[in-house]
Every structure is written in C-alpha cells, then in structure tokens.
Structure 1
C-alpha cells in the first residue's frame, strides 16, 4: 500500500498511455476485455479498460486481481467457473460471464506489486508461454509509464517547492528590508536634532538625505545655545556608513555639544573631539571632517561668526547685491586637519561678520561629489558657480531649497549622504528682533527631509 501511495496514481483521470496498453492487450490476445488495474486496500481500481464500459472499480474480495498480485509470475485461469476463488467474482458470476482470466503483475523495481495488466474472455481458453511473456512485457511498459509519471510529478513538486521557498525567501527579504529601513530611519533620527532652535534675528534651514534607506548615514549637524546670547553650530561627515559610523556620529555630536560648554575657541572644541575619537577603542580607525562655529549677536545688526575647520570643505558666504543676485565667497580656512586621524592634529578658524541680507551655507561632500551628465563631479567650484548664478535672496530657506533642487536635477542624483545647514540674517532685521526659524524634522532616506524657517513655512 505504501508503494501504491508513492506513485500517486489512484483516482487520477484517464491517461492515453495506459489506455493504449489496454487496447493493445485486447488486440494482441483477441479478447473482448483488457484492463490495467491498481489494487487498493479495499478495491480494485481500473486505470484503463478496453471493452469494459461504465465500470471504474470493483471490490477487492473476492477478486481476480487481488489474487494475481500475490504471485510473482503471470496468473492464468483457463476456466473461471472451475476456479474456487474466481467463480464468485462479479465479473464471472454476473452478466459479463467471464470464463477466462490472465494477469501479469505490475512490479516496482523494489519488488512491490501495484496491480495487474489483465485479459478476460467469455469463453475458456489457454495461453502459451510466449503469450504469457508478452503479457508480462505489457505490465513492464505500464510500470515504465508509472515511473515516468512519478519522475515528472517529483520534478513538478520540486519546482513548486522551490518556487514556494523562493517566494518565502523573497517575502522574508522584503520584511527584512523594511525592518532594516525602519531601524536605520529610527537610528538616524537619534543622531540629528529633532528641531532647529529659534535664534532671534537669524533664519535657519537644513536638509538631510541618506543615499540608501537601508544605511545609517554618517553626516551630522546641530545648532544649540551656549548661554549669554551665544550659540554654537556644527556640520560634518564621519568616514563610512552603517552602525559603526552611527556610533562615531553619536560620540562626535555629544562630544561637540559638551566641549562647546567649556571652550571659548572653536579650535579647542575640535581638539577635544579629536582626543575623544582617538581614545575610544570602539571607534577604530574612523575619523570625521567637521566645521564647528560660534555665533554671537553683533552690537549693530547681524552676528559675529567664528568657525573652525577640521578638514571639511569650505562653507559659502553669500552677500545680497543691490538689484538682485548674490555674491559668493568661500570661507577658506587653511590648516584644518581631519578629526580623529592624528594625535597632534592642528585646527584653524576664521572670524567674520554675517550682516543683514547675508547667508552662510554648510554642506557635506555628498553635494560636491554629485555627478554631472559627463560623469565628472560637481566639485566645490561647481557649487560656487551654481550659487553665484542664483537670482533669489540669500536667505537660509532659499539656499537649502536651491541646493536640494540642484541635487535632484543632476542626472545621477547624489550617490552619497547629503547634509545641508544654512544660516541667514534677514535684510529687515533690527537688533533684538524675534527669531524666524524653528522647524521640527525627521531624518529619512532616500527622500530629502528638510527643516526651515520662517516657522510653519516648511517642515
């Protein structure tokens, strides 16, 4: 019975191969009925029948086929009425009046007999050894067809199983991808300020996008108060991506915020960060670039800005021109070294006044490394040229919007993380006027996420 179940043949629809075997047996032996049967636990099921219409199965006991599978060779009953077992079979005792029966077992390679190929006649007769051998060959052909069918079934089932496994793997991968993106987005939000502060007389705007939603970016920025009307700001880029870069980003951000409370010079703040990165064994060989600055309201209008460089691309200072347009000036700071790469790293700073109508744009190298149509990088010169061609005001919101539009208009977009931080002094500013920026934001990827003022204008 296990062998019968293995071939999965019971109750299958008609099959031309088996029908041809039954028809061939009827012609070869000149009999009215020939069948291919499978013996089940409680029935004889006809896989094919020639000359036997309307019958698909009969009971197993008493049975001709059920007796035939008990012997290895061909079974021959010359006169069924004279056989004590066959005489009670419905095909013999019934209206068909079968008198002659011969069967060859369908035997599997491992020795199990599944059923028989049978020939039946309504008159007694005998068969020769050659005819018995022919009947055995027909049974062997039936087995060959069963093996071919089983092989095809196994192939189809294996294919179906493979497809199910592939679909399950694809679904797991999609779930993992979504989970990874959600994790990266959540982790990224912890590494960036939840909102830009309100600074009286200053407008702030920012933008952040990661190159891939599955990666945590290494870019960072922040603006925070120091007391006494002074503020600090920074923007930078940690070498690498992923969880390891995120750990360095977290250490960098909190070290800068803490060091700014204890040092008056931005170079000293970067030196403190350099020491922290070198002393933390978990950081390894990772380093960062950074611009760190202090803001202090000027006596007349605007802000005095002191900014130090730790190997970071220069910020751009924009001056509004009468009649429209802006003049672009890179804030070059010579001598600033990478932060966290060398024990005796040197840092440099520059002080300038940011007056009404002027803006300051800080960015990470995802902007300068964006590719043009010919494959070349935009570069610092390309950014400067773009900013100089702007016709809009130098306010922080417009600066960020224009820089984001530049990235998205490039044929290859940005292949690296991009962080932007812009500061500007409104042209209508009067000393002590209220701040004009305070916008919450969350970090996302790859779609850009912005925070800009005036308050409520964009977040």
Structure 2
C-alpha cells in the first residue's frame, strides 16, 4: 500500500497512455475486455478499462485482481467455472459471464505489486507462452508510464517549491544586484534541468544495453543534435524465441516531447507485435495502423528498418529485412583482393510508416556470414555536410565504406563512422543513430564467444562504451 501511495495514481483522471495499453491488450489478445487496475486497501480501481464502460472500481474481496497480485508471474485461468477461486466471482457468476481471465502483475523495481493488466473473455480459451510474455511486457509498459508520471510530478513539485522559496527570499532579502545574479543562476539551473530531463527521457526511449546474441557482434551509437531536446531516432535488438532475434532502427519526424511520444509508441508496438507475428512486413503494417489510429501520434510519421535474424547451419544468419521509407542499410564484407565490397540493401517499395492507410512495405532476404557486417543508420549521418559544404549523402557514405581498410566488424564500423562525423566541419546537425551487426571470423575469439559493444551518447560532445 505504501508503494501504491508513492505513485499517487489512485483516483486520477483518465490518461491516454494507460487507455492505449488496455486497447492494445484487447486487440492483441482478441478479447472484448481489457483493463489496467490498481489494487487499493479495500477496492480494485480501474485506471483504464477497454470494453467495460461505466465501471470505476469494484470490491477487493473476492477479486480476481486481488488474487493475481499474490503471484510472482502472470496468472492464467483458461476456464473460470473450473477454478475454485474464480467460480464464485461476481464477474464470472454475474451478468457479464467471464469465462477466461489472464493478468500480469505491475511490479515495481523493488518488488511491490501495484495492480495488474488484465484480459477477459466470455468464452474459455488458452494462450501460449508468447502471449503470456506479451501480457508481461504490457504490464512493464504500464510501470514505465507510472515511473515517468511520478518523475514529472516530483519535478513539478520541486520546481514549484523552489520558485516559492526564491520569491519570498527575494522580497525579503535581496537587493537589485543580488536579484540579477540569482536570475542568471536560475537560467543556468533551468538549462541544466532541461538537459537532465531530456537525457533522462531519452534513456527511457532506448535500450539500456545491447543483448548478447550468440555468433554475432553488435555495436550502436546514439547522438542527439541538442542536449536540451529529445531526439526522434530509435533502435533495439531483442529475442523472439530461443533461436530468432529481431532488430529495428527508425527515425520519427520531428523532435521534442511530441516526437518522443511517437518514438515510445513505435518502439513498444514493434516489440509487442513481433512477439505475435514476427514477419517484418506484418510488423511494419501493424505500426502503420497504430500511428494512423492513435490520437497521441497526431500527424507524425516515421521511417523504419525492421529485421529478423535466424541462425544458419554452419554459422552466420539469414536476415529478412523490411523497409518503411528508410534509407538503405549496407551489407559490407571484404572481397578476395582485400578491398571492401559494399551493397545497398534497399527492398523495392516500402513507404513511410504512418502516412497512408494502405501503405505497402517491402522485404528482402539474404545471408550474413563470417566476416560480413550489416550497417544501419538514420539520415543525420548522410545529411552531415562535408568540407565542400555539400551533404555527405548515400554516395559519400558508400565511398567511405569502400575505402575502409580495417577488418569489417560492427565495432570498427561504428567507431569509424563516429570518427567520420567528428572530422566534418559542423559534425552532425541532426540526431544520429547507428546500429551494426557483424559475424566474426571463426578464429576471432578462442572460445567462439562474441563480445557485444554498445556506443551511446547522452550529449553531443561525448559517448560511453559498455562491454
């Protein structure tokens, strides 16, 4: 109960972020009712309810949600009439006639369960382990939204308290010179606070680190054009099952909080949809529909490359890559003469995501074998200007890749690209996201393992490296 009070969410007005989670849960599981609930001392309060109009709260006992939060994992009741706990519940025995129930607990980092994300149906059914993982991911999204909301509330209250103290102190104590000095200090503090807030929000929109993919080396770099604004570029690499992995990189039109909203929506939609249907074209189509129907997305669109990795017999991976209006990826490998072979991976077709209801998307399939690398980037790289004042462009990037002499690895390719940007007169004027995937030569490491290196940047002037 103390953890629930800490988030200060009970009895708050409807919130589009939580409503979207409930709507997404209903759509993904094809059920008539989905809810986001918070468990109070003596009641179950509905923060969001899809398909359950006019209900704000119900009693805690007997309650399905009250039982679900007592478990560490997702609770699934395929047939409520056969469950001794659920059979007498009013939602089951009453007019609504719930026959299927599944709930994932909303769990804080310190282990407290605040409530649940629930899906309900009027017919018995079963769900897969992938479905259970999807419901768990939706509960994690709810917690992320609650954490962002809590951070914003605390920042607002701190700011209000600080302003009030400054006002009273200035009226009682400060002379004109002191007031001017305080004003200058406040401006610097506000600038730093904005930069810190932008950096914190940006971190929530990107994976904290790249995963370890057996037989693959990964590297990435992210740099915002301004430390005081949130970028619209995004990327991720994540597992789909024991063998397959998915990756994506994209660029939302615009910057700032509005673009960040679309970035969060796009990233969560891509991940959730891929666990239901991993076909890259189907994933981009689902994102296209979401951006066109979600009111918070406004009229913003994005470009995306979404790929699927499947291990090949004998080493390497089969890559299926779909494009939604994004610049081409580059397939890079050394040839027999020691030169670097470069091929632009640009499936024919593939429109912007979120621009048109019936937008087509295109995919291509190829092999990524030992010594080869796949390089993805956002247009902040190709729109950087050279010494002659012209855009680097795709031709300039292709030439840069051709003239490299170092081994073709994800880490070296990302590091050389960062060096290239640093050598240009104005660097990058736009946000830049880089993601590289390479298959090492068999002799790269004694035990056959692959080191994963992630380059990230919280501010334009530096980046950190993580092993």
Shared topology, TM-score over 0.5?
yes
Query: Take 1:229 and 1:309, find their aligned partners in 2: how far apart are those partners?
Result: 23
Query: Are 2:427 and 1:417 aligned?
Result: no
**What does 1:384-395 align with in structure 2 at a 5 Å threshold?**
384-395=398-409
SS at match of 1:175: helix
Query: Take 2:380 and 2:321, find their aligned partners in 1: how far apart are those partners?
Result: 21
Query: Are 2:380 and 1:366 aligned?
Result: yes
In structure 2, the partner of 1:348 is 362
Q: Which among 309, 319, 336 is matched to residue 322 of structure 1? A: 336
Q: Which among 266, 280, 283 is matched to residue 297 of structure 2? A: 283
**What does 1:237-276 align with in structure 2 at a 5 Å threshold?**
237-276=251-290
Gaps of 5+ in 2: 1-173
Query: Take 1:364 and 1:240, find their aligned partners in 2: how far apart are those partners?
Result: 13
SS at match of 2:196: helix
Structure 1 residue 169, shift from structure 2 partner: 2.2
Structure 1 residue 442, shift from structure 2 partner: 5.4
In structure 2, the partner of 1:204 is 218
**What does 1:45-194 align with in structure 2 at a 5 Å threshold?**
164-194=178-208
SS at match of 1:169: helix
Q: Which among 312, 324, 328 is matched to residue 298 of structure 1? A: 312
Q: Which among 391, 394, 411 is matched to residue 380 of structure 1? A: 394
Structure 1 residue 236, shift from structure 2 partner: 0.5
Query: Take 2:251 and 2:464, find their aligned partners in 1: how far apart are those partners?
Result: 18
Query: Take 2:300 and 2:417, find their aligned partners in 1: how far apart are those partners?
Result: 28
SS at match of 2:396: helix
Please tell me whether Structure 1 or Structure 2 has the larger radius of gyration of its CA atoms: 1
Q: Which among 450, 457, 461 is matched to residue 436 of structure 1? A: 450
Query: Take 2:358 and 2:253, find their aligned partners in 1: how far apart are those partners?
Result: 19
Query: Take 2:436 and 2:449, find their aligned partners in 1: how far apart are those partners?
Result: 15
Query: Take 1:200 and 1:434, find their aligned partners in 2: how far apart are those partners?
Result: 9
Asked whether the equivalents of residues 189 and 443 of structure 1 are also in contact (C-alpha less than 8 Å), the reply is: no
Query: Take 1:448 and 1:306, find their aligned partners in 2: how far apart are those partners?
Result: 33
Structure 1 residue 353, shift from structure 2 partner: 0.2
Asked whether the equivalents of residues 208 and 448 of structure 1 are also in contact (C-alpha less than 8 Å), the reply is: no
Asked whether the equivalents of residues 198 and 435 of structure 1 are also in contact (C-alpha less than 8 Å), the reply is: no
Change (3 A) 1:446 1:437: same
Structure 1 residue 168, shift from structure 2 partner: 2.4
Structure 1 residue 374, shift from structure 2 partner: 2.2
What's the TM-score, normalizing by structure 2? 0.60
Query: Take 1:394 and 1:352, find their aligned partners in 2: how far apart are those partners?
Result: 18
Deviations 1:165-215 (A, max 9, x none): 443222111100101111111111111111111111100000011011001
Query: Are 2:398 and 1:403 aligned?
Result: no
SS at match of 2:397: helix
SS at match of 2:419: helix
Structure 1 residue 383, shift from structure 2 partner: 0.5
Query: Take 1:166 and 1:306, find their aligned partners in 2: how far apart are those partners?
Result: 60
What's the TM-score, normalizing by structure 1? 0.61
Gaps of 5+ in 1: 1-159, 452-457
Q: Which among 324, 330, 347 is matched to residue 310 of structure 1? A: 324
Structure 1 residue 325, shift from structure 2 partner: 3.3
Q: What is the aligned length?
A: 294
Query: Are 2:426 and 1:446 aligned?
Result: no
Change (3 A) 1:305 1:448: farther
Deviations 1:349-402 (A, max 9, x none): 010000111001000000000011222110011101001000011110000000
Alpha-carbon RMSD across the aligned residues, in angstroms, is: 2.2
SS at match of 1:171: helix
Query: Take 1:195 and 1:369, find their aligned partners in 2: how far apart are those partners?
Result: 27
SS at match of 1:261: helix
SS at match of 1:176: helix
